[in-house]
Structure 1
Amino acid sequence: MPPDSPPVAAPAPDASAPSPPHQPGLLELFLAFAKMSLAGFGGVLVWARRAIVEQHRWMTAEEFNETFALCHFLPGPNIVNLSVVFGSRFRGIAGGLAAFAGLVGPPMVIATILAALYARYGDIDVLRRTLAGVACAAVGLLFAVVFKMMMPLLKRRDVTGLVILAAVFVAIGLIRWPLQIVLLVAIPLSIATTVLTRRMVRA
């Protein structure tokens, strides 16, 4: 009778394998977007990217850019679209509503109070200068997040994407062509060049 073979050890888990992304719950979605909205004086996009990509790591930089690009071409405020799309991705309709409520609820209360105060004290010169300073800070934050969103394109050396980006900027920001016309040309061109580039890489 042959001797019993020694037990085979189970393979050790691969430590290098990427762990699945954390799935935020409804309360976590509400609180996360509430924090973004309360911190985002002058623009929530900066804080949304920082929280989603850098802090919680719910999305990669590329996934955030793709999601924001989709939301940018949908009607309505971009960041509101982002909250609904992002929440729905993890928790369905309830997740979209939770993220939307967290994003819109706290600022709405604060804006209502500030509107009442501004209606009464808006003529004060110190207040006007304060608001001008806040506007400058908001523009600086916007430039910072735009640069961060460009980093994936720069790292991949996506020349086509950078050329389209520059062309859209010139067409809308400098030449002042209508946004709708530029998008009608830029979107199909972006899709076509991306598909063609991927086919060339696979070939």
Structure 2
Amino acid sequence: MNETVVPTRGELFLGYAKAGLFGFGGVAAWARRIIVEERRWLTEREYAEVLGLGQVLPGPNVGNAAVMIGRRFHGLPGSLCATAGLYIGPLCILLLLAAFYDAYGQVPRIGALMQGIAAAAAGMVIGTAIKMGSRLKAPPEMVALGLLAAAAAFWWRVPLPLIVLGLGPVGIFCAWRRQRPEAAH
């Protein structure tokens, strides 16, 4: 069942507000869950494409995706609703936490708490990537490109813009080549 639902502006705001409030350590996992699984605004592939584009643009990838998804459904007002929903809750929480950290940040247990939160956030990012990758059923050449990009970033410390400039055209060519026979039929 791949039918998608068109959200109202209010639903865009509330859906992204939920993602923003529940997304401690990273919103990507919650945004995908809400947009694809719960609300069915986009298919898994559509969301992966939007998020992928959001990752190569400057700024936070999920924020970029919120702008694009909001625009897709309701133009500029939709972009503003989705983006405002995404950021309003975390902004309020961040201001409160900044005041708390300013007052108690020198306490050793607070440092240990922050390390634990960082580890949980890393696990969420890895889990989301695995979940999205397993559902997309990418062709072997795209899996190879993804692994090469990850190796370039992780082991060889190649900056993201260079990875995108180097592997992006190869990925585009592979996708174009794979779709070419389908278009002929």
Which band: TM-score by shorter chain? over 0.9
Is residue 2:150 matched to residue 1:166?
Answer: no
**Counterpart in the other structure of 2:164:** 183
2-structure distance, mates of 1:71, 1:162: 19
Which structure's residues are more often helix, by fraction?
2
**Counterpart in the other structure of 1:102:** 85
| RMSD of aligned Cα (Å) | 1.5
1:77 maps to a residue whose letter is: P
Question: What pairs up with 1:57-76 in 2 under 5 angstroms?
Answer: 57-76=40-59
1-structure distance, mates of 2:109, 2:63: 32
Is residue 2:64 matched to residue 1:81?
Answer: yes
- Greater radius of gyration (CA): 1
TM-score between the two structures when normalised by the length of structure 2: 0.94
TM-score between the two structures when normalised by the length of structure 1: 0.86
1:78 maps to a residue whose letter is: N
2-structure distance, mates of 1:173, 1:83: 27
Alignment equivalent of 2:75, drawn from 92, 107, 120: 92
Is residue 2:101 matched to residue 1:121?
Answer: no
Q: For 1:22, what is the secondary structure of its paired residue?
A: coil
| Identity across the alignment (%) | 38
Identify which range, 23-32 or 39-48, moves more after superposition. 23-32
**Counterpart in the other structure of 1:147:** 130
Given that residues 4 and 43 in structure 2 are in contact (C-alpha distance below 8 angstroms), is that contact kept between their aligned partners in structure 1? no
Q: Give runs of ≥4 in structure 1 deviating > 4 Å.
A: none
- Shift in Å, 1:96: 0.5
Unaligned regions of 5+ residues in structure 2, if any?
none
1-structure distance, mates of 2:5, 2:163: 38
